[in-house]
């Protein structure tokens, strides 16, 4: 488990990106999904990130907060986000994922 320090706007960028991906994954029949997609979907369902959005909105935008994320999810999101066109906040979140992976080694 990695604890990634995110500013609220980075959290929103990550959640926005993941929500878009999850919407696409859910359209694919179960047996046709990749293992990575299935792992990401299961994390999304268990982590309930959308339920956390209201509390993150009330947080100080100039302060960063820890978000625990499994290493597998960080690696999947990092790999997928590198190939996608990202808006500014999602790009900032990708930078934090990149830093977290580099710091592992």
For position 99, what pLDDT does the model report? 95
Phi then psi for residue 8, to 5 deg, are: -50, -40
Query: Which candidate, 54, 55, 100, places its Cα nearest to that of 77?
Result: 100
Is residue 105 over pLDDT 80? no
Q: What pLDDT digit, counting tens, does each position of 16-71 carry? A: 999 999 999 999 999 999 999 999 999 999 999 999 999 999 999 999 999 999 99
Contact criterion met (CB below 8 Å) for 74 and 1: no
Rounded to whole angstroms, the Cα distance separating 17 from 23 reads 10
Q: pTM (2 decimals)? A: 0.92
**pLDDT band (50, 70, 90) for residue 104:** confident
Rounded mean pLDDT, 66-92: 95
């Amino acid at each position: 488990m990695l604890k990634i320090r995110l500013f609220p706007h980075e959290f929103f960028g990550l959640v926005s990106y993941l929500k878009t991906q999850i919407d696409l994954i859910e359209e694919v029949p179960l047996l046709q999904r990749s293992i990575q997609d299935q792992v990401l979907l299961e994390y999304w369902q268990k982590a309930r990130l959308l339920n956390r959005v209201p509390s993150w909105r009330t947080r100080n935008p100039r302060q960063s907060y820890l978000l625990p994320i499994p290493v597998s999810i960080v690696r999947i999101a990092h790999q997928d986000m590198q190939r996608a066109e990202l808006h500014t906040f999602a790009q900032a979140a990708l930078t934090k994922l990149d830093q977290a992976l580099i710091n592992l080694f």
